[in-house]
Amino acid sequence: MAEISMQKSSLRIEWVNICKGLGIFLVVIGHTSIAQISQTAYNWIYSFHMPMFYMLSGMMLNDSKYSDFQSYIKRRLKTLIISFFCLNTLLWLMVKGLNISYIQTDFTELLTGCLAMYFIRVLLVSELWYFAINKLVSDWKLKLFIIFLLIVLFDYLRGVIPEYIGLTRNEAIGVILPGMPLFYYAVGHIVRNMALNFNTQKLKYWLVSSVMIVLIIISCLLQPVSYGYFHIFPAFCGIITLGSLSILLSRLSVTLLNSTVCFIGRNILIIVAFHQIIYNSMKILTKHLSLSTTLDAVLRLILLIFALYFLIRSFNKYAPWLVGR
């Protein structure tokens, strides 16, 4: 009986790891020239890929483990804060050393996050705000209302320009002030128990597939007419779509595929830190080849995969503390 319970629990966590893996893969694709082949696909990816990570991060927060703020910070120092500053400094030095014309950085990004590492800083800021609000407010409806009110207030006080309102992009987020990532993080934590304890075995394949198709269509239709905070609607469509796909994959038990995607999901920090600089620096090599834009993008993506695999294995073996292990 205990074995069956553990298997079910493992299956539930597996779909979350698969979702994280698929999500980071879409992030990488979004930062390559491959995404530019289809503007519709590009817009779809960007409508939800970052909101999904904030939501999944909130889902993974087990606040019952932290009796006070001190215990929470102590844990995050080991798993996130030290890793952020170490990897971000290494990335910053790489950007400065390679001196690629279209990738520039300045000294402030050592604190705020270089390239995609801003995501880790925003995640930490969102966690800190949510931890405080969660300790003060227990009712989930009031909690979401207060969080949304804070976001709107700070957006107004900081003078966020209209086209950035409701987005999770770096320019729209204060260094230490809450933005839309806090909202998605809060939603993730609020649905945590329901999502992790949801019995995926009861779902029918045809039903999940149908929901995915409908949500993709709705998301594509909503994107041109979603402004400001209404961006949450195509975002949630995309999040539920990728979550549904992850549940399908976990049910199908395609061992090689699932293990690969879960491997990606467990090593997000390294991929977030280095995928952009590696992909763009590959241009130094491929520019000497007479390749079409598409072939060039595919070749650089393949080289990126090998490079990231080498980095992941190296960090996990020789410096696990750098990646929060």
Which residue from 8, 51, 24 is spatially nearest to 260, judged by alpha carbons? 24
For the stretch 114-148, pLDDT in tens is 888 888 888 888 999 999 899 889 899 999 999 99
pLDDT value at residue 6 = 36
For the stretch 42-100, pLDDT in tens is 888 888 888 998 998 898 888 777 777 888 888 888 888 889 999 999 999 988 887 77
Express as a percent the part of the chain with pLDDT over 70. 89
* Cα 39 from Cα 279, distance rounded (Å): 20
pLDDT value at residue 54 = 92
pLDDT value at residue 256 = 64
Q: How confident is the model at residue 9 (pLDDT cuts 50, 70, 90)?
A: very low
pLDDT value at residue 173 = 61
* Cα 136 from Cα 187, distance rounded (Å): 17
Which pTM value belongs to this model? 0.87
The answer to whether residue 11 scores a pLDDT higher than 50 is no
Between residues 35 and 268, the one the model is more confident about: 268
For the chain, give the mean pLDDT: 82
pLDDT value at residue 145 = 94
* Cα 6 from Cα 17, distance rounded (Å): 16
* Cα 242 from Cα 52, distance rounded (Å): 9
Given its phi and psi angles, is residue 114 left (phi above 0), alpha (psi -120 to 50 degrees) or beta? beta
Q: How confident is the model at residue 40 (pLDDT cuts 50, 70, 90)?
A: confident
